[in-house]
Amino acid sequence: MRLLGRLLQGEQLISHGLDEAIRHEIKWMEKSGKYKVIYLCEDELPATNPDKDLIIFRILQEILNNIIKHAMATQLAITLEHTNGIKCLCISDNGIGFDSDKPRSDQIGMGLTNIQKRASLLGGEAIIESKLNKGTSITIKIPYP
């Protein structure tokens, strides 16, 4: 029931805009006392596209879930910006990272694959960079609006 409520809450959060939904997720993470999050959002984002924003938000949630489960991170940096018709969301952590040169099939879970598939559904891409003991950075680039 808690998961269902959280899924429905995402749609409600997006009604206030992607920026506000991201801020809500950050507050939720910081309440645990385990993470310090720096968030930068461009002052003037274009008019919203709720359908795209919801998928971008779900990608963010998947990334944050991966960080909580696997990264052993203590610090995160999140940026949201819009340049030349592309909305860009970047999430970086200081966690344990992983060998991004290994084929995805060798890695546990479907989280990274789901992130890439969701981005491609919107005509965008997910750029995943990670190094063992150096953290991970995921950049989502989506044509927008």
Domain positions in the chain: 2-143
For position 10, what pLDDT does the model report?
64
Q: How far is CA 64 from CA 37, 47, 56, 112, in A?
A: 11, 25, 12, 11
For position 82, what pLDDT does the model report?
93
Question: Each residue of 110-141: pLDDT tens digit?
Answer: 888 899 999 999 999 999 999 999 999 999 99
Q: 121, exposed or middle or buried, with CB in 10 Å at 0-12, 13-18, 19+?
A: exposed
Report d(CA 46, CA 81) in Å as an integer: 10
Residue written as token pair 């965008």:
124
Q: Give the residue among 87, 137, 88 at the shortest CA–CA distance from 112.
A: 137
CATH class of domain segment(s) 2-143: alpha beta
What are the residue ranges in the chain where pLDDT is below 50? 1-8
For position 52, what pLDDT does the model report?
94
For position 6, what pLDDT does the model report?
47
What global pTM score does this model have? 0.88
Q: Read off φ and ψ for residue 38, nearest 5 degrees.
A: -105, 125
